[in-house]
Structures are given as C-alpha cells and as structure tokens.
C-alpha cells in the first residue's frame, strides 16, 4: 500500500488556521481529509491527542509494532473506501454547502490528510510510523495566535467544557480537564500562550528539519490570509498534484476572530501585549529560529 497513497500531516499549534487550510486542501481530488483530527483514534492506539489530561512528547522509541499495524490498517481501509457511497454522500453535502469539494477522490500521487494541532511534540513518532509521510506546517504570528487561543480558552471555560493547563515539563503540551472532574485543576495565564507558541513551534521545527527536505513544507499563516493563490501554488508543487481550487468559500473559515491578523491590536491591552513581547524578547534565539524556518525549506539547528 505504500506506493498507492502517501500520508500527509497538516500540523500547527492551536489557532493557527489548520482547520481552514485543511478544508481548502481537501477540495483537491488527490487529497482526502481523514475527518477532523482523528483524536479519538490516535488516543485509542496509545497516542494521546486532543483534550487529554497528559500530552507527553513521543519519539521513535515509543513506536511499537501493534501501533504501526493498527494505524496502517486504518489508513489503508480509509483509502480503499474513499469512494464508497457513504463517503460520496458526505462530500456531496460539503459541495452543496460550501462549493469547494470534489466528489470522487482519485489520482496519482494520492494523499490521505491528517490535520492535527496535537502532534507538534510527536513528529519523530509519526515519522517512525510513516517514513514516507509528508508534512505541511503552518505558523501564525505569535500575537494573533495568542489572542485567538485566549478567546478560545475563555469561550471553553465560559461554556463549562474544559479547564486548560500548560505543564512546566519540557516537551509536554496542554492538559485539558473536564469541568467537575477535578476540584483544583492547574490553570493558565496569558504568559503561557507565547510560551506554548515558542516551545511547540521550536520543538516541531527542530524535528522537521531532521526530515528530508522534500517531505516538509512550511507555510506562513499571514500568506494564507493575504495571498492564498500563491500559497496553493507552492502546495501543489510540493505535493506534485494538480492545481488546488483557489475559489474558497468564506464558510470554510473556522476562527475566533473576524480580523485574524490584526484584531489583537485593538482588543489586547498594553499590559497584555507587553507580556507577549517580553516573553519573545527573553526567548529571542528560539523565536528567530522559527522565523528563519519560514523563509527556507529547512534550516540547521
């Protein structure tokens, strides 16, 4: 099956535009999105993802034979059933609602797309499971991403969904506790948001830069907003697919902000902005490394 399809992982920290970009890519006949993020599937197979209490980093040494077999079987089955009636009906609904979908999924090369905002600390693990996988990594600027995540967490807590906590452990990502399950879950502060941005983007980029250059594409979220056609041309060249549909429905946007690049300037206070600015200044080397990786296909640590 390795030569029939290629796994494609669309990664980026939360609130970086990954959902929107996944929907855009999934309009291509040669790309099929595997649901939202497959969080339940990965968690069930020993790779905690999504709103879990412990999101530890995983490497190739954590990869066991049963996990590889189960994951490969699932991806193979999804490929073989890609044009079954149920899948066609789902895509017909999306085409009718959004106008940005292809009904029949075929072509060569062909990609099964797994979008995730929870694999930044698991890239070595994913690479061990799928040594032929390709990666698209989106980075949103730290201010607008922090603002969007701030609003997202506020909304979750207001609606009583989850309490978020960013552990003070190297490589660990957010922990999520369901309301009422813990009396005193650890909380989060604004300073945790740029810390998450720096630590997870830096960790992911260091790991991705150890992968072959032709398997990794970095995308700047600012370019997605301002110059999507050029970005899609880059993606098509990277994946060696037909040109990706540039007619993108506004209904595909999934965001907490109406002005995704600039709204933070009006709604963050001077003190809030300073917290982010100060953290970036204190972690300038890692911040500069992240920025440099957006300008080239790969860079050296």
pLDDT tens per residue across span 243-285:
888 777 777 766 667 789 999 999 999 999 999 999 999 999 9
Q: What are phi and psi of 116, to 5 degrees?
A: -150, 140
pLDDT value for 49: 95
Q: Would the pLDDT of 298 be above 90?
A: no
Which residue segment(s) compose the domain that 139 sits in?
6-295
284-295 and 270-282 helices cross at what angle (nearest 10)? 90
What is the tens place of the pLDDT at every residue in 67-107?
A: 999 999 999 999 999 999 999 999 999 888 888 889 999 99
What is the tens place of the pLDDT at every residue in 152-165?
A: 999 888 887 888 99
- In-domain check, residue 300: no
State the total domains in the chain: 1
- CB distance 100 to 252 below 8 Å: yes
Q: Would the pLDDT of 214 be above 70?
A: yes
Per the model's pLDDT, the better-predicted residue between 41 and 180 turns out to be 41
- In-domain check, residue 228: yes
Considering only CA atoms, which of 187, 194, 197, 149 is closest in space to residue 165? 187
Q: Quote the CA–CA distance of 30 and 102 in Å, as a whole number.
A: 9
pLDDT value for 160: 79
Q: Specify the CATH number for the domain of residue 84.
A: 3.40.50.300
Q: Quote the CA–CA distance of 22 and 15 in Å, as a whole number.
A: 13
Confidence category of residue 2, pLDDT binned at 50, 70, 90: very low
- In-domain check, residue 66: yes
What is the tens place of the pLDDT at every residue in 57-67?
A: 999 999 999 99
Q: What's the pTM value of the predicted model, to 2 decimals?
A: 0.94
Burial of residue 264 (number of CB atoms within 10 Å: 0-12, 13-18, 19+)? buried
Confidence category of residue 235, pLDDT binned at 50, 70, 90: very high
- In-domain check, residue 145: yes
Q: Would the pLDDT of 296 be above 60?
A: yes
- In-domain check, residue 301: no
Q: Would the pLDDT of 299 be above 60?
A: no
- In-domain check, residue 1: no
């Amino acid at each position: 099956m390795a030569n029939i399809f290629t796994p494609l992982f669309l990664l980026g920290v939360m609130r970086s535009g990954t959902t929107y970009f996944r929907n855009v890519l999934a309009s291509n006949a040669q790309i099929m999105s595997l649901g939202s993020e497959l969080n339940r599937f990965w968690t069930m197979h020993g790779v905690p993802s999504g709103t879990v209490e412990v999101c530890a980093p995983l490497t190739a040494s954590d990869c066991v034979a049963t996990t590889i077999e189960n994951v490969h079987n699932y991806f193979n089955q999804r490929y073989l059933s890609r044009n079954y009636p149920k899948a066609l009906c789902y895509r017909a609904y999306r085409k009718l609602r959004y106008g940005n979908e292809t009904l029949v999924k075929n072509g060569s090369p062909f990609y099964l797309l797994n979008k995730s905002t929870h694999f930044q600390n698991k890239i070595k693990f994913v690479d061990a499971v799928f040594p032929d996988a390709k990666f698209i990594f989106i980075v949103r600027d730290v201010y607008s991403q922090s603002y969007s995540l701030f609003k997202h967490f506020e909304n979750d807590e207001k609606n009583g969904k989850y309490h978020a906590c960013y552990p003070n452990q190297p490589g660990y990502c957010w922990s999520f506790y369901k309301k009422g399950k813990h009396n005193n879950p650890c909380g989060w502060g604004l300073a945790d948001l740029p810390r998450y941005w720096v630590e997870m983007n830096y960790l992911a980029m260091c790991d991705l830069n150890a992968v072959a250059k032709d398997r990794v594409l970095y995308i700047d979220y600012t370019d997605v907003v301002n110059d999507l056609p050029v970005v899609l041309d880059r993606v098509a060249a990277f994946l060696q697919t037909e040109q990706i549909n540039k007619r993108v429905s506004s209904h595909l946007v999934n965001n907490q902000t109406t002005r995704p690049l600039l709204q933070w300037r009006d709604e963050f206070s001077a003190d809030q902005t300073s917290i982010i600015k100060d953290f970036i200044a204190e972690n300038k080397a890692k911040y500069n490394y992240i920025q440099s990786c957006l300008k080239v296909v790969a860079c050296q640590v």
